[in-house]
Chains A and B, each alone.
Chain A
Amino acid sequence: MGDYGIKISKPGYDIKTTGLQNQVFNSSANSLKIWMTGSSNISVAAWDGSGSNEKGTVDITHSLGYAPFYLCYFKLKHATKLWLQDSLDISMLTGNYIDGRAYSNNTNLHCGIWVNGNNLDAWTATVYYLIFIDKAIT
């Protein structure tokens, strides 16, 4: 059995001759597989000018046993938009800032809200996440 599998090309491309970049799916090439998705609220403490700038966190348990690839988006204090991880809420670019940051480890996806600035009261952020089966490191 020398050549077998499944491949699907994009419209307009001949599946018999086109390269992988023009294929929707090819069973010889790994696909990112979503393990879990969801959202979680994060209680953010009022800014007091001391300690860490990470004022609210949540750990999402994934049970994979290794650090997985992931994507995170955050609903921050001043916007209805969802911001990609590490994007600053641009309404705050005046010396103050808010952004959502994240990392994965063997057990959790750790999500945190980082703030800097005066007159920031306590509030609630939300993180939306996709955690993949695929390892962030091999």
Chain B
Amino acid sequence: MTNYGIKVSQTGNDVKTANKENLVFSSKYDTLKLFSNGSGSQSVPAATAPYGPSGTATVEITHNLGYTPAFIVFCTSIWRDSTKFSPYAYKGVGGISPDGGFYAVDTTKLYIHLYNGDPNGARTIYYRYHIYYNELA
């Protein structure tokens, strides 16, 4: 069996001749497969002084996949309202006073490290995450 599988072309493209860029799906190519997703909020303590160090809190999401999976996280920042999410954070000068989130994964957990550069009080940061079955290897 040399050539088999499923492929679906985009509207207006002949699936028998379409380039890979014009396919909606092809079983020849892997896709991101969602393992879990979720959202939440976390109160983050105030920065100890203007321009840092920032206050910090960590949210740990257990996945127990036994390998490091692909993921993506979006979160709010104290400089944006709670409806505006981004995967990237403001890093601050020299990394001393970041705002927003930095994200990492190991074989058991997703770590969402949240930062508050505001010295005037604790702030709530909202986050959303996707963890995929796809292994980073």
Whether B32 and A34, one on each chain, are in contact in the complex, defined by CB atoms closer than 8 angstroms, is yes
Interface size on A, residues (CB 8 A): 39
Whether A34 and B137, one on each chain, are in contact in the complex, defined by CB atoms closer than 8 angstroms, is no
How many A-B pairs have beta carbons closer than 8 Å: the answer is 112
**Which residues of B have CB within 8 Å of A73?**
68, 70, 105, 136
A-B contact pairs, 17 of them (CB 8 A): A5-B8, A33-B31, A39-B136, A39-B137, A71-B70, A73-B68, A82-B105, A82-B136, A87-B102, A88-B89, A93-B95, A93-B96, A93-B98, A96-B94, A99-B91, A128-B68, A130-B70
**Which residues of A have CB within 8 Å of B25?**
25, 27, 31, 33
**Which residues of B have CB within 8 Å of A35?**
20, 29
| Beta-carbon contacts under 8 Å, B81-124 to A | 87-89, 91, 94-96, 98, 101-106, 111, 113
A31-B25, A33-B23, A84-B72 given as contacts; is B136 within 8 A of A92 (CB)? no
A87-B104, A88-B98, A97-B91 given as contacts; is B71 within 8 A of A33 (CB)? no
**Which residues of A have CB within 8 Å of B73?**
84
Whether A88 and B102, one on each chain, are in contact in the complex, defined by CB atoms closer than 8 angstroms, is yes
CA separation between A86 and B23, bound complex, in Å? 31
Known: A33-B25, A37-B137. 8 other contacts (CB 8 A): A33-B26, A33-B30, A71-B72, A80-B106, A83-B104, A84-B72, A86-B89, A99-B91
Write the residues of chain B forming the contact surface with A, with a CB cutoff of 8 angstroms: 8, 10-11, 20-21, 23-26, 29-32, 53-54, 56, 68, 70-73, 87-89, 91, 94-96, 98, 101-106, 111, 113, 134, 136-137
A31-B24, A116-B94 given as contacts; is B104 within 8 A of A81 (CB)? yes
